[in-house]
Amino acid sequence: METEIYKIAAAGIIATILALTLKRDNPVFGVFVGIAISVIILLALMPALTEVFGIFKEISSLAGANTDYILIIVKIIAISYIAEFAAQICSDAGEAGIGAKIEFGGKVIIMTVAAPLIVSLIKEITGMLP
Amino acid sequence: MEISVVFRIAAVGILVAVFNQVLARAGRDEQATMVTLAGIIVVLFWIVQYISDLFTTVQTLFQL
């Protein structure tokens, strides 16, 4: 799993060079190459992420925390994963405004997903108070 | 880690650029834009397909 970083770095550099050459004639292809390479890298990182989540679940089950909190956290990570992917592509293509909107959308959705977690947390805290 | 997608896109991009130059020299500018449009649409289809693959993978992986 450690050698994965070499492939990712090499692919990224090759794609950057290709994007620059294509950008000169028509910029759209530069953006296409940017999207393609970010998809490739994210897909290449999927197995590593599953491993991380496996360890995450193991630790949480050892610590005795109930599992639906972990599910919410996993969902939040997935949402931020996608939102950052799209926002980065948009700002690379020069549309920082659209990227910021996507980022904002991601934050709002994460807020809605995390709401039950926050509510139960506050309940526990108030419960502890005398 | 299949990087062939990037090379396919680069190939289409370079082809479109070359066709543009050739058609522009031959004076047929509207055909040049047609070729560019066709190239963009083809690559767009590949990209949309590829992004949907990514999203379904993420969905199954994170049980969203």
Q: A74-130, pLDDT tens digit by residue?
A: 888 889 989 999 999 999 999 999 999 999 999 999 999 999 888 988 998 899 888
> Do B35 and B19 touch, CB atoms closer than 8 A?
yes
pTM of the complete model: 0.84
* Helix residue ranges per DSSP H, chain A: 4-25, 27-63, 67-92, 96-128
Q: What is the pLDDT of residues B9-64, one digit of tens each?
A: 999 999 999 999 999 999 888 999 999 999 999 999 999 999 999 999 888 887 76
> What pLDDT, on the 0 to 100 scale, is given for residue B3?
87
- Which residue numbers of B have CB closer than 8 Å to A's CBs? 1-3, 5-7, 9-10, 12-14, 16-17, 20, 36, 39-40, 43-44, 47, 50-51, 53-55, 57-58, 61-64
Shortest CA gap B27–chain A (Å): 18
Residue B39's domain comprises 3-62
> Do B50 and B5 touch, CB atoms closer than 8 A?
yes
* Tally of domains in chain B: 1
DSSP conformation class of A16? H
Q: What is the pLDDT of residues A52-76, one digit of tens each?
A: 888 888 888 887 767 777 788 888 8
